[in-house]
Amino acid sequence: MERPTDSKGPRSTNSDVTRRELLAVTALTGGAFILGEQLLPGAISPAAAQGSEAGPAPLDLALRVNGTEHRLALDPRTTLLDALREHLHFTGTKKGCDHGQCGACTVIVNGRRINSCLTLAVMHEADSITTIEGLGTSENPHPMQAAFVKHDGYQCGYCTPGQICSAVAVLDEIKAGIPSHVSADLMAQPELTDVELRERMSGNICRCAAYSNIIDAITEVAGRKA
Amino acid sequence: MKSFTYERARTPADAVASAAQTQGAKFIAGGTNLLDLMKLEIEAPTHLIDVNGLAFDKIEATPDGGLRIGALVRNTDLAADVRVRRDYPLLSRALVAGASGQLRNKATTAGNLLQRTRCPYFYDTNIHATNASPAAAAPPSAASPAIMPFWV
């Protein structure tokens, strides 16, 4: 993929450091970049995240991610999120709060959205896991990904993979007739109103507050499906 | 998180026997409360027994006109069940008023009832040891003034 250029011409090789490489550097340099670490807990090494204590023997397991089976040997403490990011390198899924409150780690397991930070990888041997990488590619995006781009449904982009996985599942939940806190009539088919979408997306926090554009993107995809 | 060993229970009898034999063992279902507490080391089980494969995920009508809700029925499924929505709307409303869609897809009925307290002092790792062992309770001097009223 080509990198954007500015008015001064192509960027120098020095600025071609990816965000991931930068995170690795900030994690290694420690205190000097402490603010960076606090803002992006994903930069903490898996060993630090799990505690330094030596664990029991690794468990052999197979995870089916985006249609492909992957064999792994993992400490039982490994969350599905850490297995995806640190072991399988599906780094689209993000670590935000790591406590099930922010939704950045949302993935779709057997057709349902869950917080991958609050579940263990070993608990998902027989499951079908879909991450943002499995929804679409840059060349062939999922309609929800295309709609987020079109409607500018993000600013920094950190929460976006979780937002998109959640949004895709939300439309399926509405289709399945699952009620929400704002559904006036529990027995009626839920409506595709802004209020319904906001409530259903409330498990995904966006610190850039791109909420109204996110709702526009979801509404467009929902309209197309209807 | 403290280390632990893991097993997937095949039958309810196996799960119960394993829990009885292993000191510090805990059952795990949705895990949305237990894993949160394990990350904070407020809970530190030595062994986890995964009960997700046990067939307690049904909602069945009882002969006297009620419903029997399986321990492993997910919050989403319970809230969306047409019999619950029609005959027990308060239950449906209560479920969808809590947590988020992602959490409700994982959280189970029994796990919901077994949730630990969400009081701030319980989550404060400076003083939470007193919850595990009241006899060893330290004076609550470490507690912030904001949560002192909860102590008594």
DSSP string, A92-157: TS--SSSSSSS-TTEEEETTEEEEGGGSBGGGGTT-EEE-HHHH--SSS--HHHHHHHHTT--SS-
A4: contact with B, CB 8 A cutoff: no
Distance from CA of A175 to the nearest CA of B (A): 12
Higher pLDDT, A179 or A57: A179
**What is the chain A residue with the closest CA to B36?**
A99
For B120-151, the pLDDT digits (tens) are 888 887 765 545 554 444 444 454 555 554 44
Strands B59-61 and B67-69: what pairing? antiparallel
pLDDT of residue A226: 42
Judge: B4–A120 Cβ closer than 8 Å, yes or no: no
Segments of chain B scoring below 50 in pLDDT: 130, 134-141, 143, 149-152
Interface confidence, given as ipTM, is 0.87
pLDDT of residue B123: 85
Distance from CA of B72 to the nearest CA of A (A): 14
Confidence class of residue A7 from pLDDT cuts 50, 70 and 90?
Answer: very low
- Say what the pTM is: 0.83
Confidence class of residue A36 from pLDDT cuts 50, 70 and 90?
Answer: very low
> For all residues of chain A together, what is the average pLDDT?
85
B83-92 own/partner pairs: CB under 8 Å, 24+ apart: B83/B59, B84/B59, B85/A179, B85/A186, B85/A187, B86/A186, B86/A187, B89/A186, B92/A179, B92/A186
pLDDT of residue A30: 44
A87: contact with B, CB 8 A cutoff: no
Distance from CA of B77 to the nearest CA of A (A): 8
B1 CB neighbours in chain A (<8 A) are 50-51, 77
The CA-atom distances, in angstroms, between A64 and each of A124, A213, B8, B119 are 9, 33, 18, 38
The CA-atom distances, in angstroms, between A154 and each of A70, A131, A151, A157, A211 are 31, 18, 9, 5, 8
Beta bridge partners of B61: B67
For A163-202, the pLDDT digits (tens) are 999 999 999 999 999 999 999 999 999 999 999 999 999 9
Question: Would you say A95 and A117 are in contact if contact means Cβ atoms under 8 Å apart?
Answer: yes
A200: contact with B, CB 8 A cutoff: yes
